[in-house]
Copies of this chain bind each other. A is one copy, B any other.
Amino acid sequence: MSLYVQKYGGTSVGSIERIEAVADKVAAFRAKGHDMVVVLSAMSGETNRLIELAYQIQERPDPREMDVLVSTGEQVTIALLSMALKKRGYDACSYTGGQVKILTDNAHTKARIQQIDVERMRRDLDAGRVVVVAGFQGVDGDGNITTLGRGGSDTTGVALAAALDAAECQIYTDVDGVYTTDPRVVDSARRLDRITFEEMLEMASLGSKVLQIRAVEFAGKYKVPLRVLSTFEEGEGTLISLDEEDNEMEQPVVSGIAFNRDEAKLTIRGVPDNPGVACRILAPIGAENIEVDVIVQNISAVDGTTDFTFTVHRNDLNKAREVLQRVADELGAREVVSDDKIAKVSIVGVGMRSHANVASRMFSALGEDNINIQMITTSEIKISVIIDERYLELAVRALHSEFELSEPRKVQQGQ
């Protein structure tokens, strides 16, 4: 008998029929004697409908009132699920974020959870009730309704699991787990049984959008085992948990291949290579709220100048180019060039830490297919390369094959 927190997303509760199906799932767990806390999103489309109403009034609606408005979406689904559970003979009780005291800061529309008062939930659980909580919302210290921003229901689930010391936080969604890479690119992409928090963070931020990144960070911080499963299909999903490389033989070198086409590359050529030049180039970019991802500075040329290259989100390319041109004029640089036909491909895996030559295996696999690497960046558990976007699928398939990700996991010795 364990305590489970289950979170169901908008498509999982998108109609009365689907809410009834969720009630069946929850009831089955409860019938086994488990204590159940269920976190729900709004019915799919409802949050957008509400936001649309607000936009009819004003282009930038007041954030406090926006939270009052959109938080109604989850309040509808928690009431309906509780009714459906009661119909099945299971006692249940619904709570808004404010009622269950999910205390947040007052950053409306993107608030962060500070504290959760579990007393009332414990009392309900002890009385055998299923506790049904509105995701995505909380209340600030002054009693104002707040929301956690898009995807915040995942964070609510993890936070409740942490506060209640749950055995597992199960995120039910419309995919059945985390894959080695996008199955639309690689037919033989395989669902991972397990992945570490760190790997998931690298995968998520790189485009395998299964879970909200803040939820994963939160789960990692509080060591809440997180499982991603499908609402619509049976299966064990993917368990996201602590790094257990030391005690598990099956740890692979690389867990997955992430990629995206969202970036563009900017290069400033022939910059006089003085101390502090990187800062003088990047500070004006940051001042415009443009996020920079990969950064590479060439070694100085004979003439004492250098080239400086970085990537930004494609949507920011024009603005970044303008800023960079201004900087180039100030610094007396030769020219600014840009390229938005690039892609980023990354291999991710905690196993890299203890296995040598992972990078060279990656580069040689790409080289065998004549894929030119434009930029490289590495972290402890990730290696990313920037390539011409035409070669993206080819690169992902080559790497998926090189690191044998289609095979069930087995020990892979570093060479």
Contacts and interface: CB of A to CB of B under 8 A. Distances in A.
Contacts of A62: 82-83, 86
B57 A16 contact: yes
Interface in A345-402: none
Interface string A15-57: 0100110000000000000000000000000000010011011
Nearest to A78: B68
A94 interface: yes
A84 B58 CA distance: 8
A65 interface: yes
B68 A94 contact: yes
A61 to B, nearest CB: 5
Interface stretch (A69-77, A214-222, A289-297): A69-77
A315 interface: no
Contacts of A86: 58, 62, 65
Interface in A87-104: 87, 93-94, 96, 98-99
Interface residues of A, number: 36
Contact of A58 (B76, B83, B94): B83
Contacts of A50: 76
A50 B80 CA distance: 10
A57 B87 contact: yes
Nearest to A75: B72
A64 interface: yes
A332 interface: no
Among A20, A78, A86, max chain B CB count under 10 A is at A86
Contacts of A54: 79-80, 83
Given A57-B19, A84-B57, A94 B79 contact: no
Provide the main secondary structure of the chain A interface.
helix
Contacts of A171: none
A224 interface: no
Contacts of A84: 57-58
A66 interface: yes
A53 B98 CA distance: 24
A57 B69 contact: no
B80 A94 contact: no
A143 interface: yes
Contact of A56 (B16, B58, B82): B16
Contacts of A57: 16, 19-20, 80, 83-84, 87
Contacts of A79: 54, 65-66, 68-69
A21 to B, nearest CB: 12
Contacts of A68: 75, 78-79, 82, 94, 96
A99 B143 contact: yes
A34 to B, nearest CB: 22
A75 B65 CA distance: 10
A407 B75 CA distance: 53
Nearest to A72: B72
30 contacts: A16-B57, A19-B57, A53-B76, A53-B80, A54-B79, A57-B80, A57-B83, A58-B83, A58-B84, A58-B86, A58-B87, A61-B83, A62-B86, A64-B93, A65-B83, A65-B94, A66-B79, A66-B83, A68-B75, A68-B78, A68-B96, A69-B75, A69-B76, A72-B72, A72-B76, A75-B75, A96-B145, A98-B99, A99-B143, A99-B145
